[in-house]
């Protein structure tokens, strides 16, 4: 979750001086959509999930503000495979964005690795990717430390094959194991612990 700071700007409208909030920062994040998924399908899924995102629904009196889907990178290129996204909710304190979490839940890959909630791992030598992913999903959904905590519940196990450029898809994988606080206020990550328990090596 990210917070955006908004600055008041005075403007004249209909003869009145009004305070209009405008963003002080550009909160759009650039993602690659999942392979073989159309931009229209991804955009619809992002909008739907953003507007019903549980941590926001149960947040501090948050109201849905915007699900922004702009095909293409910041120069307008790659409009079939890359997209600029914002998932924004608001309350009296300002704007809160859930873009990275929503995009990750849909399998989108950040173009900048530094923006990614995923962790990159090399799977154990001699193990197939299918076997590793099956084990990761099973272990994530039944992780003992998470199951023992009544304040959280399973949210999702997500993976993307290959490194952050899509290379080494047979040996490296981006992983995310997420549980949700039962009041919906935040998420808890167990990715590193689950991956380590299966012998995966962080890259």
pLDDT one-digit tens code per residue, 66-88: 999 999 988 888 999 999 999 99
Whether the predicted pLDDT of 28 surpasses 80: yes
What is the 3 state secondary structure string of the chain? Answer: CEEECEEEEEEEECCEEEEEEEECCCCCEEEECCCCCCHHHHHHHHHHHHHCCHHHHCCCCCEEEEEEEEECCCCCCCCCCEEEEEEEEEECCEEEECHHHHHHHCCCEECCHHHCCCEEEECCCCCCHHHHHHHHHHHHHCCHHHHCCCCEEEEEEEEEECCCCCCCCCCEEEEEEEEEECCCCCEEECHHHHHHHCCCEEC
Q: What is the pTM of this model?
A: 0.54
Confidence band, pLDDT 50/70/90 cuts, at residue 4: very low
Rounded distance between C-alpha atoms, residue 98 and residue 2, angstroms? 7
Give per-residue pLDDT as tens, 137-173: 999 999 999 999 999 999 888 888 888 777 898 999 9
**Greater model confidence, 116 or 70:** 70
**Greater model confidence, 70 or 180:** 70
Domain co-membership, 140 together with 102: no
Domain co-membership, 96 together with 136: no
Please say which residue of 112, 146, 170 terminates a domain. Answer: 112
Domain co-membership, 132 together with 107: no
Centroid of chain to Cα 41: 17
Domain co-membership, 159 together with 62: no
Domain co-membership, 122 together with 108: no
End-to-end CA distance of the chain: 24
Domain count, the chain: 2
Question: Which residues form the domain of 35?
Answer: 1-112
Instruction: Identify the CA nearest to 109 among candidates 193, 191, 35.
Output: 35
Please say which residue of 112, 146, 173 terminates a domain. Answer: 112
Domain co-membership, 81 together with 36: yes
């Amino acid at each position: 979750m990210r917070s955006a700071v908004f600055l008041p700007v005075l403007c004249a409208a209909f003869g009145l001086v009004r305070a209009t909030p405008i963003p002080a920062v550009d909160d759009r994040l650039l993602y690659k959509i999942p392979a073989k998924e159309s931009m229209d399908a991804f955009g619809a899924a992002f909008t739907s999930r953003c507007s019903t995102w549980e941590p926001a629904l149960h947040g501090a009196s948050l109201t849905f503000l915007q699900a922004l889907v702009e095909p293409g990178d910041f120069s307008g290129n790659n409009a079939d495979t890359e997209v600029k996204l914002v998932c924004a909710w608001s309350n009296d304190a300002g704007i809160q964005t859930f873009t990275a979490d929503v995009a990750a839940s849909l399998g989108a890959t950040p173009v900048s690795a530094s923006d990614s909630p995923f962790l990159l791992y090399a799977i154990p030598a001699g193990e197939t990717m299918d076997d590793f992913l099956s084990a990761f999903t099973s272990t994530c959904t039944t992780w003992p430390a998470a199951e023992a905590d009544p304040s959280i519940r399973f949210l999702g196990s997500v993976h993307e094959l290959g490194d952050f450029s899509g290379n080494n898809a047979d040996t490296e994988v981006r992983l995310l194991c997420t549980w949700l606080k039962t009041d919906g206020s935040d998420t808890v990550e167990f990715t590193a612990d689950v991956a380590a328990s299966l012998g995966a090596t962080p890259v």
